[in-house]
């Protein structure tokens, strides 16, 4: 998973949500370039992006740097859009905080008029994740039909996909496990979305699906919003081809080492 790059509204601490569809800033494109180089050795099988411009530009830039899949189709999905902030969109973050205070509430639980509740955002994330699980099951079925289980188990690839933070050959990003035999990658999916949305999705992974987290991850890191183009890596296993009880492990969360050379200005403003 990756988050979209910076826009001028990020820099000016103005809420974008869904109603403000800004392009990436110069810094945002630099961040996307850096993320693309960082992930250039990862062989993705599918790419999904929010249909908002900042995410679409980020996804296109990342895939454009990839050694394996520059021509892979990016599929845009409205379920990956940022949280909707209603009347607060296009206004400073300080206005949202003031609205929440006047209502006797706190961010991010506060929902401005016309905005989405956290539960509604989580429902969108859940719906999209279940779609991805179904996609993995279908990929597994097609592979079995085309090649047979025996050839898949013994198959090897001349070029192997490497994740930059693990320094070893990739494990399945999203796989359907139908037995003990080791096998080639089923689905390795890049998802490009937005900070507040992804924080809710990760919350769903942890609270509802009991995602296993890195031992050194702090509570504050878990609840924080990623920097622009921060990268998170999750390994999901679907036991016996079932999408009902996925086993999820977080390898890294909000990875931002690729932004070191981009400059201090690339640290994201926190979005509620």
Annotated binding site for substrate: which residue ranges? 54, 82-85
d(CA 155, CA 205): 32
Total count of residues recorded for the chain? 272
Indicate the burial class of 240 (C-beta count within 10 angstroms; 0-12, 13-18, 19 or more): exposed
In a 13 Å sphere around the CA of 166, the CA atoms on its Cβ side amount to 19
Phi, psi of 264 (to 5 degrees): -60, -25
- For residue 193, is it left (φ>0), alpha (ψ between -120 and 50) or beta? beta
CB 75 within 8 A of CB 48: yes
Q: Would you list which residues are annotated within the binding site?
A: 54, 82-85
Buried b (16+ CB within 10 A) or exposed e, 18-46: bbbebebbebbbbbbbbbbebbbbbbbbb
């Amino acid at each position: 998973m990756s988050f979209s790059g910076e826009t001028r509204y990020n820099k000016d601490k103005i809420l974008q949500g869904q109603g403000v569809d800004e392009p990436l800033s110069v810094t945002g494109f630099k961040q996307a370039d850096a993320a693309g180089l960082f992930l250039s050795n990862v062989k993705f099988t599918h790419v999904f992006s929010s249909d908002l411009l900042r995410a679409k530009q980020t996804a296109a830039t990342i895939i454009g740097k990839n050694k394996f899949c520059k021509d892979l189709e990016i599929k845009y999905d409205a379920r990956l859009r940022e949280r909707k902030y209603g009347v607060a969109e296009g206004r400073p973050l300080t206005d949202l905080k003031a609205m929440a205070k006047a209502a006797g509430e706190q961010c991010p639980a506060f929902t401005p008029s016309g905005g989405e509740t956290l539960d509604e955002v989580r429902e969108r994330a859940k719906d999209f994740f279940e779609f991805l699980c179904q996609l993995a099951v279908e990929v597994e079925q097609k592979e079995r039909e085309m090649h047979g289980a025996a050839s898949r188990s013994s198959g090897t690839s001349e070029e192997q996909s490497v994740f930059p933070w693990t320094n070893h050959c990739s494990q399945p990003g999203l796989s359907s496990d139908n037995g003990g035999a080791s096998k080639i990658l089923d689905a390795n999916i890049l998802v490009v979305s937005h900070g507040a949305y992804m924080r809710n999705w990760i919350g769903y992974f942890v609270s509802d699906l009991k995602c296993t987290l890195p031992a050194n991850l702090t509570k504050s890191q878990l609840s924080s919003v990623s920097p622009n183009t921060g990268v998170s890596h999750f390994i999901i296993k679907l036991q016996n081809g079932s999408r009902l009880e996925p086993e999820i492990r977080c390898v890294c969360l909000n990875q931002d080492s690729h932004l070191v050379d981009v400059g201090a200005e690339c640290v994201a403003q926190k979005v509620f």
